[in-house]
Amino acid sequence: MRTVPALVVCEHCDGVYRRRAPGMREMARRAQCSAVLYLASQLDVDRWLVLTVAAAIVFVIANVCPVIRISLQGLHSETTLWQSAAVLAHGAVAPIALATAVMIVVAPLLQIALLGWVLAFARAGLSGSASPTIAARSLSSFATARRICRASRR
Ligand SMILES: [Zn+2]
């Protein structure tokens, strides 16, 4: 299958149109059928960075607070995500514990950290006060982060 990213097809009338770069918060709408062809991103680097910091805070809360609490006749038991993975590691299903820890703790942590790292450097590169050395280091770090992200998808 051949893809042509410069063109967009209307979902309603199958008309083909040349895509142009939309401005911030712009929308491409077809005049004949008034269908929305595509939307510009609503988020700039600062907003992505704020969402990443919020995700990091939620991640910490999710890993510190108990996710399950059982109460029965005055006895209480509660566990966190880490504790549930650690309990699995001691049983016969130890390989599942590793997969569980990677899926619920390590992978989200890496994703949030790498996104925050890339966005912090992107923000430093976008600000006018960045020196050429910082800009070069930002590009190098960005390339490294992209390589890590690509490797983690495989
Ligand atoms: Zn259309």
pLDDT digits (tens, 9 = 90+) for 24-83: 778 888 888 889 888 887 788 889 999 999 999 999 999 999 988 999 999 999 999 888
Ligand 1 center to 28 CA (angstroms)? 11
Ligand 1 center to 18 CA (angstroms)? 13
**Would you call 76 helix, strand, or coil by DSSP?**
strand
Ligand 1 center to 25 CA (angstroms)? 21
For the chain, first and last CA: distance in Å? 21
Residue owning tokens 């991640």: 59
Closest CA to 12 of 42, 37, 39, 43: 37
Average confidence (pLDDT) over 121-147:
66
Strands 75-79 and 68-72: antiparallel
| CA–CA dist 79, 88 (Å, integer) | 12
Please identify every residue whose CB atom is under 5 Å from ligand 1, which is an ion.
Answer: 10, 12-13, 30, 33, 35
User: Where in the chain are the domains?
Assistant: 7-39, 45-153
Q: What is the pTM of this model?
A: 0.60
